Amino acid sequence: MPANRPYDIVVFGATGYTGGLTAEYLARHAPGSTRWALAGRNRDKLEAVRTRLAKINPVCAQTELLAADATDPASLKKVAESARVIITTVGPYILHGEPLVAACAAAGTDYVDLTGEPEFVDLMWLRYHEQAQQTGARIVHCCGFDSIPHDLGAFFTVQQLPENAPIKLEGFVRAGGTFSAGTYHSAINAFGRARLYAKTRKERLAREARPAGRSIGAVKSGVRYDKALGSWVVPLPTIDPQVVRRSAAALDRYGPDFRYGHYVVLKRFAMVAGLLGGVSALFTLAQFKPTRDWLLSRKSSGEGPTPEQREKAWFKVRFRGEAGGKTVTTEVSGGDPGYGETSKMLAESALCLAHDDLPKKGGQSTPAAAMGNALIARLTKNGIRFAVV
């Protein structure tokens, strides 16, 4: 990637709710030497964001505004060729994300997003991973609450365990707060595309090489009461366990045999029944266009909670790892998972790729494989806690 590009980081989607929070985080925390810009299709809205940023940091009054539209590949090509790293918050990614991935893969530009959509991630691997390997572009999906606390938390825990031994690791998620309209839309669309995703996943599994001499898999466990946690735990089939296992496949430190289980923690069995029933109902309704459109209309993109609501939100992900006769418990914790901490994780991922000494290996990667301890150090410095408990 050429070092003399005019921008270190470009934020695409800064006029949206989470994109705006990401831009605000950069205004407060990006080093003064970082050259960054805002990109989008509506200049008036971009100027309003820039005005807001200038109140946080007067230097931001000079922030460049770039014309870019997810439906205009030529504009995305121009932006990708001007930047070292692109941040995008424009989703649902399965509907709007591919042209920017294509532009970054072709231009050798590093890329980070917030997606939690397994179909999109697998489809982008099938279509652009090899090209990104050739150009040196590091394509890193899932750089928000999906999936950084889980992926980096697993990576942190593995490093506390003996090397070269089989590892069993489980992650237990607790959180309080609201989720974004974008996350809701992505989930409903994913439910409605379940058959398409099954085909995409099968194709990736057929093409993707397995790690030589090592085994990676899932912990086989259903709904159960966990005495140590004093709560019920329910397997959580989000993208997060997939990301953890892909990091394990990429990094030898996860040992010769690695097994991972991922769960949501619920205090009462009635909550378990409510969760399972609610998800089943949403999945069924999402299979039909009229009811899917009705579900999507319940939340509008760009909406988000008040600062007071975000201030009360929190998350804790506890990990229990076993290897070579040793057991270790760790925890990753922070504030508002859906917005505040997500925008922090995304921005610090871009800063990490732009400024830190990292492996230069191109292609689609996971946060742990691409950034590892460098990103853990950045997040710890900025209020997300990684600890042995």
Helices (H) and strands (E) in the chain, counts: 16, 15
Tokens of 25: 């985080």
Nearest one of 273, 259, 177, 175 to 223, comparing CA atoms: 273
- pLDDT of the residue at 237: 87
Q: Where are the domains of the chain?
A: 7-143+340-384, 148-334
Contacts of 295 (CB under 8 A, 6+ apart): 188, 282, 285, 286
pLDDT, tens digit, 9 for 90 and up, residues 233-249: 999 888 999 999 999 99
Which of 63-67, 84-88, 189-193, 381-385 shows the lowest mean pLDDT across its residues?
189-193
Residue 362: band (very low, low, confident or very high) from pLDDT cuts 50, 70, 90: very high
Max Cα–Cα distance, the chain, nearest Å: 61
Domains 7-143+340-384 and 148-334 share a fold: no
Amino acid 370 reads A
Residue 301: band (very low, low, confident or very high) from pLDDT cuts 50, 70, 90: low
How would you classify the pairing of strands 257-266 and 167-176? Answer: parallel
Residue 340: CB atoms within 10 A of its CB come to: 22
Give the whole-angstrom CA distance, residue 378 versus residue 105.
Answer: 26
Determine the CATH number of domain 7-143+340-384: 3.40.50.720
Q: Average pLDDT of the chain?
A: 93
Q: Higher model confidence: residue 300 or residue 21?
A: 21
pLDDT, tens digit, 9 for 90 and up, residues 41-61: 999 999 999 999 999 999 999
**Contact in structure between 315 and 167 (CB atoms under 8 Å):** no
- What would the mean pLDDT of 210-232 be, rounded to a whole number? 94
Which of 2-11, 194-203, 298-307, 362-371 shows the lowest mean pLDDT across its residues?
298-307
Per-residue pLDDT at 338 exceeds 60:
yes
Give the whole-angstrom CA distance, residue 386 versus residue 335.
Answer: 13
- What would the mean pLDDT of 307-336 be, rounded to a whole number? 92
pLDDT, tens digit, 9 for 90 and up, residues 252-288: 999 999 999 999 999 888 988 888 888 788 888 888 8
Contacts of 202 (CB under 8 A, 6+ apart): none
**Contact in structure between 302 and 16 (CB atoms under 8 Å):** yes
Tokens of 303: 């909406």
Among the four given CATH numbers 2.40.170, 1.20.1080, 3.30.360, 1.20.140, the one describing domain 148-334: 3.30.360
Q: 3-state SS of 108-132?
A: CCEEEECCCCHHHHHHHHHHHHHHH
